Structure formats: C-alpha cells, structure tokens
Amino acid sequence: QLQLVESGGGLVQPGGSLRLSCAASGFTWRLYNIAWFRQAPGKEREGVSCITSSGGSTNYADSVKGRFTISRDFAKKTVYLQMNSLKPEDTAVYFCAAKSGVSSLCALSWTYDDWGQGTQVTVSS
C-alpha cells in the first residue's frame, strides 16, 4: 500500500498555470501506475490523466488534452500534473491515485487502490 500526498493547488486566473505534485512513500512505488482524478462540487469524480509504472505511456481525458501534462520523477518518487491554459471548469479537488501492476498502457477506468487526500484547484478571475 502506498501513501500519497498531493500539493500545489491554489487559486489561479483563467489562462494561468499550476503544477500539482503527488509524492509517494513505499519502496514498491516503481510498480504502481499513477492517475489524477478531480471532483467538482455536485459532480461525479472524473479521471484526468494517468501514467504507467515505467512512465512510458500516458493517457488523458479529452477535456484536458493539449493543456495538461503528466510526468513522473523516479528519484523523487513524485508524479506531476502540469496544468496550462486553465479554465473555470477545471475548478475541482484534484486527487492522485495508484494501482499496482506493470502494464504498457494505463486507463482512467481502472479501479485504483490507494488515494491521496486531495488538493483544491480554483480557476477564477
């Protein structure tokens, strides 16, 4: 089981950028696929992006393609979500989640086993 801690959220104006971080503990971190999800008030949780355990493959929701980039730093045991051209509809609590297993692809439809506590992102002028 991994422990995940998100950071980097905040208030940003439309068109601005933020970088979220998901720091993991546990020596088996390299065996986990990592995903970002978000949940806005009154809405269902939505998958945003995922990255495979090797970092070799990524996947994005259509709503964020071309604006968000996921990456992982193995030395720092951290997964990042670079968010550019932010829109008010990106406002949500963002969570990172982990699923064990080595795969050539990752999917936002998977059941992820370990979750962080979330970080608030607010896009507003």
pLDDT at 44 over 90: yes
pLDDT value for 42 = 94
Confidence of residue 5 (pLDDT cuts 50, 70, 90): very high
pLDDT value for 91 = 98
Average of pLDDT values for 51-69? 96
pLDDT value for 103 = 87
pLDDT tens-digit series, residues 75-93: 999 999 999 999 999 999 9
pLDDT value for 114 = 93
Residue 90: other Cβ atoms inside 10 A: 22
pLDDT value for 43 = 96
CB 119 within 8 A of CB 25: no
Average of pLDDT values for 42-59? 96
- Residue among 118, 125, 26 at smallest CA distance from 78: 26
- Residue among 98, 115, 110 at smallest CA distance from 53: 98
Task: List Cα–Cα distances, 25 to 3, 21, 40, in angstroms.
Answer: 5, 13, 27
pLDDT value for 1 = 75
